[in-house]
Structure 1
Amino acid sequence: MSRQAVQWVNRWLWILLLGGLLSACALASTHAAPIHREEQIAVPGGRLFALVRGENPKAPILVWLHGGPGGAERPLFRLYNTALERRFVVVYLDQRGAGRSFDAKADPRALTIARHVKDLDLVVDQICREQGQSKVVLLGHSWGSALGLFYAQAHPEKVSAFIGVGQVSSEIGRQWSQHRFVEDAARGRGDAQALGRLRAIGPPPYSAAREIATQRLVERFGGYYRVMPDMKKVIARGILQGYVRPWELKQIFRGNAVSLEAMNDEILKLDLPTQVPEIRVPVAFLLGRYDRQVDSRLAADYFQRLRAPAKIVVWFENSAHNAPFEEPDLFVATVPRVARQLGVAVGPPQ
């Protein structure tokens, strides 16, 4: 081969190599690395723990708001609903006083609805800055559904959609509904023991301790989970799959107890049909047909009265209060579908 031919071959080899490198870089840029980070977000008087995960960093931000108050459900969300990380950048937030955000030395008087709303605003601003976005989808479960609506009411410009699961409406109305449900179910089954416990608890309004005792009776008759799972097995799965640390469980339970006690008087005043009659963001309620913990029939009535630019209600026919954990496959398929219907640009799974 002549020198000219060799030079010609070498030139084309370099062109091909350079082209391959550029193509690889372009491919890498369109498939950015998944997100998996833990954050300690500074708030007045402490820090909040947030786990941020997503397979596509350009996906919409979804902020999980757990129940309680103080009920850090992050391990359950991850155990049952991690598939949402394929469609969203999911923020698993431990609210003030809950889970890894619990501080035994903190003043429980700081656990107020107003403080939770301000905390959430700091979290939303930080995550949006990090992801280069301006809005989030809020997904609130139980107490988290009240927090999410209060936040969306205060900061509609930062919320692309709100999704309430096990939606709270009126607290006193909820407690009376619990009481009637347990009484009717116990009488129907001839359960004298449950009727005796209900009489000992007494009628609403409940203290935090009496609320927990009533919830146990609601669980007994299928109003919390339609079919109660073996919680020891659920906890074992969460530990084995790395979603919760064994030594963390005591802190989770302690945080829940402290928050329930500290916020009980304020929670008793919750009446969302009066406090949030209108909201300027699209709304969806995902309701369990058998939910008698907050009574999905009360939530459905609130949905009809709530004024919003767009509204969707979805019934989970085989769930009570915990649709994300009772029908997880349907839940993780429903959330992105509903978000798209509310105008959120949710892409295909990564």
Structure 2
Amino acid sequence: MKFRYLIAAVSCLYSPPAFAADPATDPIAKFRSTIGDFQRITTPDGVEENFTADINGTKQFVSVRGNHRGNPLILFIHGGPGAPELPISWAFQRPWEEYFTVVQWEQRASGKTWPLNDSAAIAPTLTIEQYRDDAIALIEQLIKRYGKRKVIVIGHSWGSIPGLMTAIKRPDIVHAYVGIGQIIDFREGERIGYEQILKRAREDNNAQAVTELESLEPYPGNGAFDVDKITVQRKWSIHYGYLTAGRDNPNAYFAMHHYSPAYDSDAIKAWGEGSAFTIERLLPKLADVSFKDVKSLKVPVYMFLGRHDYTTPSDIVDQWVRDVRAPDKLSIWFEDSAHTIPTDEPGKALLTLVTHVRQNARGPGEHPAPLP
């Protein structure tokens, strides 16, 4: 239970429970197999492969899927830290693969990457800059492997930190940047989120929530983030639907892990272990992350904003987009979403990617099929 709340501290999610891999003892295995077969890429020029990439002295797991190799590449940088979204991607990604080739990358010390490296050797490398440099190194490999000039980078939640840093440092390899649950000023976001949750608890006459939340004051405070405090804040943030819109728990989100054709019991176990390991070491380094001083970008930037997202509050992001200079920029509000936009509003997420983002990815090596 301690690890579940520890993982909730930053990723806002609980570690998914393990399940048996043997179809004889696990009836869900048949459904996973069926989903995997149904989602199989069958187009002649499609891409469906997993590989282990050598990235800055480590081995890291990569999944690549898409119907047509000529489509633009998306690098999806997952949240957490240490919370890969490959095991839930089956619930939203398949339609994306008609218009993009989608890369799900399991970051340093995360998910299927976790057992590939020595944890003692990895521990001192868990810095924000290292994740940015890993993303850049992977992009360079992807460009060469698939004959592209650039990629579209999507950063979700924690992944929006190394994602935006990558777009800032290496605009020459990024077509466009998309932030989902974007972090602009981590400490300010925590303060705003806390105030909103406490307000809701008081309006709801939720004495337990009010007592627990008031005990955190001042929140988030100065200095490094306190794991126990942020865990309590996330507990009530989840309860009031600020993780998945309209839900007071993450159960439906994690049920999707059970049915994932990409994950088995060992991968689920690694997901939890890697997330706990990463959060303990990286969390104190995130407190003062801020992009408020970034006044311009050399790539188009699109921010997907959940109206009910107080995990990473959207108003901060919207104001930042208004102020920043970029070749193209847009805030897109998702009225029925909180922090998990791809699963809260999967249709609008795809439509927005196709109509606003895909147009930036044209040139040698990128010849997207015409839109219907």
Task: Identify the TM-score tier after normalising by the shorter chain.
Answer: 0.7 to 0.9
* Residue in structure 2 matched with residue 28 of structure 1 by the alignment: none
CA offset at residue 230 of structure 1?
6.7
Alpha-carbon deviation of 1:209? 3.5
- Could you tell me which residue of structure 2 aligns to residue 26 of structure 1? none
The residue number in structure 2 matching 1:222 is: 241
Partner of 1:247: 266
1:273–1:305 contact (8 Å) kept in structure 2: no
Aligned to 1:204: 220
**1:78 aligns to 2:90 (yes or no):** yes
Call closer, same or farther: CA 1:313–1:342 in 2, change over 3 Å. Answer: farther
CA offset digits 1:205-243 (Å, max 9, x no partner): 332332232111111112121122875554444433413
| Amino acid in the other structure paired with 1:265 | P
- Map 1:298-317 onto structure 2 (within 5 A): 298-317=316-335
Is 1:88 the counterpart of 2:100? The answer is yes
Q: State the identity %.
A: 26
Structure with the largest fraction of helix = 1
Matched, 1:324 2:342: yes
**CA spacing shift, 1:236–1:271, aligned 2, 3 Å:** closer
Letter in 1 for 2:208: Q
Residue deviations 1:244-272, cap 9 Å, x none? Answer: 21232221122122222211222111111
Given candidates 262, 267, 270, the residue that maps to 2:286 is 267
Q: 1: distance between equivalents of 2:209 and 2:215? A: 10
| Structure 1 residues 1-350: aligned runs within 5 Å | 32-102=44-114, 103=117, 104-202=119-217, 203-205=219-221, 206-228=225-247, 231-274=250-293, 276-342=294-360, 344=362, 346-348=368-370
Aligned residue identity for 2:340: N
CA distance in 2, matches of 1:291, 1:160: 27
Counterpart CA distance in 1 for 2:261 and 2:94 is 13
> What's the CA shift for 1:348?
4.0
Classify 1:303/1:68 alpha carbon distance in 2 versus 1 (closer, same or farther; 3 Å).
Answer: same
Count residues in correspondence: 319
Q: Cα distance, 1:289 vs. partner? A: 0.7
Question: Tell me, which stretches of 5 or more residues in structure 1 are unaligned?
Answer: 1-30
Measured in 2, the distance between the counterparts of 1:342 and 1:303 equals 18
Moved more, 246-255 or 215-224: 246-255
Query: Is this contact kept in 1: 2:75–2:153, CA < 8 A?
Result: yes
TM-score (norm 1): 0.86
Instruction: Determine helix, strand or coil for the equivalent of 2:330.
Output: strand
CA distance in structure 2 between the partners assigned to 1:346 and 1:162 by the alignment: 18
Amino acid at match of 1:263: L
Which ranges in structure 2 are unaligned for 5 or more consecutive residues? 1-42
1:343 CA displacement: 5.6
* Greater relative CO, 1 or 2 (CA 8 Å, sep 6+): 2
Shift in Å, 1:61: 0.6
State the shift of 1:201 in Å: 3.3
Moved more, 232-241 or 192-201: 232-241
Instruction: Give, in angstroms, the shift of residue 49 of structure 1.
Output: 0.5
Per the TM alignment, residue 119 of structure 1 is displaced from its structure 2 partner at its CA by 0.8
Amino acid at match of 2:201: A
Contact residue 111 and residue 259 of structure 1 kept, 8 A: yes
Distance 1:116 1:69, change over 3 A: same
